[in-house]
Structure 1
């Protein structure tokens, strides 16, 4: 019996989302600021091997998505891998996954909010970031269906902007297919690090799994929605990366502060630059909306199991959302958005989320055939890939991420020592 799958009206959440809404929420997370922000550091790491790095990130993401989809169909409760790790591997592993997700994705929320501010009003980036967090927390507070509707509009805008970028780059007369050639001296380490950084832009499909308790017919909806969202995102990312790389080349891409805007400017379409800047701000808003949604649901699930203050497990009687968890997450993100730097958050978040998915793949390995177990190669490749990409990230990201996970493990051990009869529930 899945203890986390409480029915609506008994401390659970209402099932309102179908396949389309679930796919859109996943796209809103993945087609966020990642494609606007992650290409430059990835190109700096991999050089001409950027596209192989993108392919490797997509492979690991596919394995993670498949494992997550099978687990979510079996355990359709809010919390994602926090729930899967607890149910399949034991209380500690579920807790560690939830801790890594909440901490890492809270940093991602701050980065997305600051991206909104940087593109929308560079001189007041922090103030705009805080305002964006407050506004989107209010949207989430009034119900997940309103969040899904807003995300649909954001995804439509972002897809239109990215299509304009690809068209502008390929029709401007400066694109050169030779710039896509992978140099003979391209190193495997650079490809791994680029893949780890680009993974930051793929990780949004977790939002679908963490919303498992609000999805109608989860056994059917989640396994369909996750690969659909991931597949659409991969096609879009590959097209954008190839188009921008063909105009700027690996060195120009690595040096660009705003690579998509610089690419259309270099391609002879300066009128598209403000459009791209606006699109980046809207994309970051979409990512931030879905990130806050996912982090609040994992916080809710952990609070329900008393790994976090139990007061955060309250569900709003009218809107049917975990309102205290949402307000708390929004407040923490607003404080971070007012104080932190954007760049440091990407590598740190990637490390924490790769650890989260490593646990998801380990949990998927334990599924029996009658429980919808994926092919054995999927969790093996996923787990190995997560470990390799995490270790290949910049040293500062690895050290900070490992330290945060160690702190989480210490907190868990201290709590168990002080309250051995609690048992995590």
Structure 2
């Protein structure tokens, strides 16, 4: 592919994937789980995300090709681990699609959340089928709009008389809730991987990717921390946890009801942008795995006129529509986080095998341990379902290998 992205564009792509909608969706479920330890959960999620980003950036510099950990696991650990990483990415990001669709519904029409979510999936799948492609230019617009909306939320909340610093922490939390909140908030950080999966389209990847990934992650952390403090100061952990549209409720509680429609529109647009990018990304990973024989070969078909993987897009859209119609936002985020944490566990294990110093290996070890701990601390339904889906993928791999022996 053509290498056109520099450091700035790579940072924007990562920010677009992270702040596009994650903070609008993950804050309330995390507050419900972590209680008064929400800010500590955010810090823990950021630590694990940093370790994952560091390992992923090192691997991307060594293997600057599309595919992310699907490639790294295959090259460093063997074909099975690359396949399992790809499988975890596909199932995890499919759930992310459902979470983004439900976020559109929660902010656009709270009373009909599932109906709006399914309609959004159908509309964006149709748009993607027609050849719509994401670009750094679109990402710049989305990031600019979303950052402006979030800045308005922070200023409105912190400048209001309803803000109370005493709401920022509390005694009503436990270690298990802190870990579960961190696991749910990890959902909002996972977008920095978009930079590494674009390895074939980045100029001077050995230099650009290791610079862009921590920059994007650091900016996202500052934004998330500011928004979390602002929302907690007016709603508290309990009010934040009960809210279906937390940032809209925060500006209303701060005495700025006129900003509520702006926040709702900004959140819905951000979620739509993230949903489109996710549908494109998951369908392309599905295409790659189908070409390698890990998924049905029919999913590798490319439309002769539109030049898109139309079978993969229709399959992904159908699965996401079913999830959006039948799951709740917290369940979709939990399941997505489990799949993505499994993906990054393999990334850290792959980074451990690189020739490196004590610091790099320590970061990989902390990242691997953190992924395992946070995955196990997620809501029980998400952990059990996620483990079962990963096991199903591993079983399918074993059956295929027995039926088609050879390299």
Same fold? TM cut 0.5 = yes
Counterpart for residue 53 of structure 2? 65
| Aligned residue among 381, 391, 404 for 1:396 | 381
Q: 1:320 to 1:405 in 2, by over 3 A?
A: same
Unaligned runs of 5+ in 2: none
The answer to whether the Cα contact below 8 Å between 1:140 and 1:147 also exists between their aligned partners in 2 is: no
SS state of the match for residue 375, structure 1? Answer: helix
Shift of 1:99: 0.6
Counterpart for residue 5 of structure 1? none
Question: What RMSD over aligned residues (CA atoms) do the two structures have, in Å?
Answer: 2.5
SS state of the match for residue 306, structure 1? Answer: coil
Counterpart for residue 177 of structure 1? 165
> Is 1:229 the equivalent of 2:216?
yes
CA distance in 2, matches of 1:90, 1:351: 22
The answer to whether the Cα contact below 8 Å between 2:24 and 2:103 also exists between their aligned partners in 1 is: no
The answer to whether the Cα contact below 8 Å between 2:106 and 2:244 also exists between their aligned partners in 1 is: no
CA distance in 2, matches of 1:263, 1:252: 9
Counterpart for residue 10 of structure 2? 22
Counterpart for residue 292 of structure 1? 279
The answer to whether the Cα contact below 8 Å between 2:122 and 2:317 also exists between their aligned partners in 1 is: yes
The answer to whether the Cα contact below 8 Å between 2:7 and 2:209 also exists between their aligned partners in 1 is: yes
Q: Tell me the matched-pair count.
A: 407
Counterpart for residue 418 of structure 1? 403
Unaligned runs of 5+ in 1: 1-12
Report Cα offsets for 1:298-344 as digits up to 9, x if no partner.
22332232212345446678887656544543443344434443332
Equivalent positions of 1:325-404 (< 5 A) are 325-369=312-356, 375-404=360-389
Shift of 1:214: 3.0
| Aligned residue among 46, 49, 53 for 2:41 | 53
SS state of the match for residue 376, structure 1? Answer: helix
Q: 1:342 to 1:290 in 2, by over 3 A?
A: same
The answer to whether the Cα contact below 8 Å between 1:158 and 1:283 also exists between their aligned partners in 2 is: yes
> Is 1:405 the equivalent of 2:390?
yes
| Aligned residue among 62, 67, 86 for 1:98 | 86
Q: 1:160 to 1:301 in 2, by over 3 A?
A: same
Report Cα offsets for 1:6-33 as digits up to 9, x if no partner.
xxxxxxx444433333222221221133
Counterpart for residue 10 of structure 1? none
Counterpart for residue 81 of structure 1? 69
Q: 1:223 to 1:319 in 2, by over 3 A?
A: farther
Q: 1:146 to 1:111 in 2, by over 3 A?
A: closer
CA distance in 1, matches of 2:218, 2:201: 23
Shift of 1:52: 0.6
Counterpart for residue 21 of structure 2? 33
What TM-score comes out, normalization by structure 2 length?
Answer: 0.92
The answer to whether the Cα contact below 8 Å between 1:72 and 1:80 also exists between their aligned partners in 2 is: yes
CA distance in 2, matches of 1:190, 1:389: 11
